[in-house]
Amino acid sequence: MAEAQSTLEVSEPVDLDPIERRPDLIEGNPSFHDITEAVARPLEWKAPLGWYLFLAFSLSLLGLLGVSLAWLIWEGTGIWGNNVPVAWGWPIVNFVFWVGIGHAGTLISAVLFLFRQRWRTSINRTAEAMTLFAVACALIFPAIHTGRPWLDYWMFPVPNQMSLWPQFRSPLMWDIFAVNIYGTVSLIFWYLGLIPDLATMRDRSTTVLKQRIYGLFSLGWRGSHRQWLHYERAYLLLAGLATPLVLSVHSVVSFDFATSQLPGWHTTIFPPYFVAGAIFSGLAMVITLMVICRVVFKMEHIVNMLHFDRMAKLILATGTIVGYAYATEFFVAWYSGNIYEFFAFKNRALGPFAWAYWTMITCNVVIPQVFWFKKARRSIAVLFVVSIFVNIGMWFERFVIVVTSLHRDFMPSSWDYFTPTFWDIATFLGSFGLFFTLFTLFVRFVPMVAIAEVKGVLPQAHVHHHNPIVHGSQGGRGQ
């Protein structure tokens, strides 16, 4: 044990924080130096063979994305299964799916920060990285869904040779701003959090190249308290800005549907329902990723069962909100007395896409109920399986919303069924290639746990003895 602990009074049982009388967030009572070593290890050691294999696998999927996009641009949107009633097919489904995944990262990094949930420090870096990569995947789809990405500049308010300006009353324009600004703010937030940790990597670097690169990106950070003061204020304000932002982004995504006059889309419940669903799906993705990363990179003591337990509770809460929203939609469709609205919902549950609807209900509402049991919340196998089901279920939710509302138009003569093509599937799998490639590179070159923040939640980080004000009136809390 390092010297840092020896100066503390150890009168409490080892696993209880002396001030909070709660279990320690990080297991094994590590010293500050142990944390640095544990997080820096994957960046400094020789990468395991599995890392190369997974990178190769991700890159092949990324190649599939490249081929799919090249073929799309060459041939046009006819390569997809989109047809006349179902003009919005998989590209929009995938867009909403990926944006939603991103939301859990912001929830963990910003919302839980404001609520002073200190357990977030073990997972926030990874979750924020996941947000960035998910937003990158999401942005592909609006850019290519018309099949003419070279005209994308029409979406931006830039002077052009046609003297045309975008239609700002359209939720699709709101979406452009919301998602791009969301991506940018998430990047700023992530990078700000990274600066002290990049300085740690700079100070540990063994080669000149590493020292130069980490030195460049750590901006000359020297952990001065005069700097920490501005840093923490900036971090708090960014969290305060990112919180309404994340709520607004998926609300705006839902406006793409809700402001239309289509039965099944035109409902006021969409914004909160979409936000809850987004966080639900993103938490599942965080669990899927962390279950694997903590084992591969030997961080079981930093990301431990306590963290999974709390994420599982959040999954249960948001999953139940989503289930409630499904029920409310049905109730309102019936109670409104609007025959078109009620038809759209009966058609969802009993029509040709009933298989998709009941897949969604099973994965999103039924299966997460196992998290009422503590045993399930603390079992890696259960967590992993349920998180995969939630990912599947949330993809199906967007499929159900987009396709079942469209495929039976007002005129029965224009009804049709939707079948994806090979290229629909290839583009979607390809977007996973982009996501996994970025994530695989991230875990190798960037500290995947917020070193400075984790040190700050260790029991020995708290100055107990001679400042009663700090721990008395305001509890000395915060991250």
Partner 1 sequence: MSKQPWGILAEFHTPEQLWKACERVRDAGFTHWDAHTPFPIHGLERAMGLKRSWVSMVVLVLGLGGAAAGMGLQWWASTQAYPLVVSGKPLFSWPAFVPIMFECGVMGGAAGAFLGFLGLSKLPQHHHPLFNSKRFERFSDDRFFLSIESTDPEFDPEGTAWLLRSQGADHVEVVEA
Residues between 3 and 62 that touch partner 1 (CB under 8 A) = 3-4, 7-8, 31-33, 36
**Residue 63 host element (H or E):** helix 49-75
Q: Draw the binding track, 99-138, toward partner 1 (x: CB under 8 A; -: no contact).
A: ----------------------------------------
Q: Is 16 helix (H, G, I), strand (E, B) or coil?
A: strand
Residue whose CB is less far from partner 1, 60 or 467: 467
Q: Which is nearer to partner 1, 183 or 264 (CB)?
A: 183
Per CB under 8 A, which of residues 175..204 are in contact with partner 1?
Answer: 177-178, 181, 184-185, 188-189, 191-192, 196, 199-200, 202-204
Contact 151, 76 (CB under 8 A): no
Q: Which amino acid is at 125?
A: R
Site for partner 1 (CB under 8 A): which residue of 164, 208, 209, 411? 164
Contacts of 352 (CB under 8 A, 6+ apart): 407, 417
Provide, rounded to whole angstroms, the least separation between the CB of residue 309 and partner 1.
Answer: 25
Please, which residue, 31 or 362, has the CB nearer to partner 1? 31
Q: What's the CA gap between 41 and 34, in Å, rounded?
A: 10
Which residue's CB is nearer to partner 1, number 169 or number 375?
A: 169
Cβ 292 vs Cβ 247: under 8 Å:
no
CB nearer to partner 1: pick between 63 and 240: 240
* Shortest spacing between CB 20 and partner 1, in angstroms: 14
C-beta closer to partner 1: residue 264 or 459: 459
Q: Encode 333-372: b = buried (16+ Cβ within 10 Å), e = exposed.
A: beeeeeeebbbbbebbeebebeebbbbbbebbbebbebbe
User: Segment 219-258, which members bind partner 1 (CB under 8 A)?
Assistant: 219-235, 237-238, 241-242, 244-245, 248, 252, 255
Nearer to partner 1, 73 or 229 (CB): 229
Q: Quickly tell me which residue has 């073990």 as its tokens.
A: 122
CB of 49 to partner 1, least distance (A): 30
Residue 322 · residue 276 · CB < 8 Å: yes
Query: Helices 225-258 and 270-296 sit at what angle, rounded to 10 degrees?
Result: 130
SS3 category, 66: helix
Cross-strand bridge partners of residue 23: 16
Between 442 and 461, how does the x/- string for binding to partner 1 read (CB under 8 A)? ---------xxx-xx---xx
Q: By the 8 A CB rule, do 315 and 393 touch?
A: no
The site for partner 1, by CB under 8 A, has a size of 79
Q: Which residues contact 183 (CB under 8 A, 6 or more apart)?
A: 132, 135, 136, 139
* Shortest Å distance, C-beta 418 to partner 1: 30
Interacting residue with partner 1 among 133, 141, 174, 399 (CB under 8 A): 174
Sketch the per residue contact string, 328 through 367, with partner 1: x for CB under 8 A, - otherwise: ----------------------------------------
Asked if 163 and 460 touch (Cβ cutoff 8 Å), the reply is: no
469 binds partner 1 (CB under 8 A): yes
Provide the CA 235 distance to its chain's centre, in angstroms: 19
Q: Which two tokens stand for residue 225?
A: 């308290």
Query: By C-beta, is 174 or 353 nearer to partner 1?
Result: 174
* Shortest reach from residue 274's CB to partner 1, in Å: 14
